[in-house]
Structure 1
C-alpha cells in the first residue's frame, strides 16, 4: 500500500534508485530538485531535504513510497505567483517502473484535499502538450481544460481542478 510522506534522509538510497531510473536529463516533477542540488552524497542529500523542509510555508512536498521504495514525488505550491502561473500549483512525477498503477491520480487527489485544507478554492495544473497520461490523470480528478500555451519548453496544457472551497 503506497503512502505519501515528507522528504526524509532515511530514504537516500531509495531516492537515488528512483532518480537513476529517470535517467540523465529527465525532469522529475514533484521533487523540488534544482540544478544546484547535490543529492549524491549523504551531506548534499541532507542539505536538499533540509531546504525542502524550510520551504514548507510555501510548498508542501510529498514522496510516494511503498515498502521503502520511492515511487514518485508531488508538490503543492501554496500561493499564486508567476512561477505557479507557469508551472501550476501541483507538480507530480512517477518513476517509469511504477507508472500505469493509478499512483499519480491517487496522490493528486490527496494533494487537492491538502489544497482545500489550505483554503485554496481551485488548483492550476500544467503539463506538456504531448503528455497524454498526465492530461488524462488531471481530467480524471476533475481538471477543466483552460488553454494551451506556448512556453520556453514547448506547448503546455493548463487545467483547473476545483477543490470544493469557495470564496478564496
Structure 2
C-alpha cells in the first residue's frame, strides 16, 4: 500500500523510470516551472549515478530546514514521495508557509504530481489526504491549494479532500482545506 515518505535512495531505479515518463510527455522544458520541471533541468544530468542521486535526495530533504539557503521568495518545504515499497508513484510538497507576494497566493501550501504511468488510480487523492495531518503537524490548520482552471483531475482531487473554492485568480482556482 502506498505511503508518503521522505525521499530515499532506495527508489532510485523507479524514480529514474518516472522521470523518463515525465520527459516523454514533454516535461522539463524552459516553460515548465513545476517542481518536476525544475528538478529535471537542474539534476537530470547527475542523478543517474548513485552518488548524484544521493546528492539530489539530500537536497530535497534539506528543503524542510529553515536554515537551508534557497532562492529569494522560496520557503521551507517538506518534500515527500508517494511510494509503494520502492516504486515511485508521485511527489507532494508542503510549504511551511505561503511564499511572499503573489507567488504564495498562486502556488499555495501543497503541490503534488503523480507520474504519468500511475495516473487515474486515485493516487493524488490519497496523497493529499495523507498530507493533511502532516500539514496540521507543521502548524497549518488550514491550507491553500491551487490548480489550473483546466485541470479537472486536480480540481476533483482537491474537492474530494474537502476543498472549498475560494476564488479564481487568472488561470488558477484557489481552494482552502
TM-score (norm: length of structure 2): 0.79
Which residue in 2 is equivalent to 1:7?
Answer: 7
For 1:37-71, what per-residue CA distance to the aligned partner results, in whole angstroms no more than 9, with x for missing partners? 23333333222111111112321111111142101
Look up the match of 2:106. Answer: 86
Query: In 2, Cα distance between the equivalents of 1:50 and 1:94?
Result: 21
2:72 corresponds to which residue? none
Please, which runs of 5 or more residues in structure 2 have no aligned partner?
66-75
Q: Is 1:63 aligned to residue 69 of structure 2?
A: no
Instruction: Measure, in 1, the Cα distance between the counterparts of 2:172 and 2:155.
Output: 10
Q: Which has the higher helix share?
A: 2
Taking the aligned partners of 2:118 and 2:127, their CA distance within structure 1 comes to 13
Secondary structure of 1:116's counterpart equals helix
Alpha-carbon distance in 2 for matches of 1:16, 1:29: 17
Aligned to 1:165: none
Q: CA deviation at 1:94?
A: 0.9
| Equivalences for residues 10-29 of structure 1 within 5 A | 10-24=10-24, 25-26=26-27
Q: Is the strand fraction higher in 1 or 2?
A: 1
Of residues 90, 93, 105, the one that matches 1:72 is: 90
The answer on whether the counterparts of 1:30 and 1:90 sit within 8 Å (CA) in structure 2 is no
Residues 122 and 160, structure 1, Cα contact 8 Å, conserved in 2: yes
Q: State which drifts further: 78-87 or 112-121.
A: 78-87
For residues 120-155 of structure 1, the C-alpha deviation after alignment (integer angstroms, 9 at most, x for no partner) is 1211111111110000110111111122222xxxx1
Is the CA contact 1:92–1:104 (under 8 Å) kept in the aligned structure 2?
yes
2:10–2:86 contact (8 Å) kept in structure 1: no
How high is the TM-score relative to the length of structure 1?
0.83
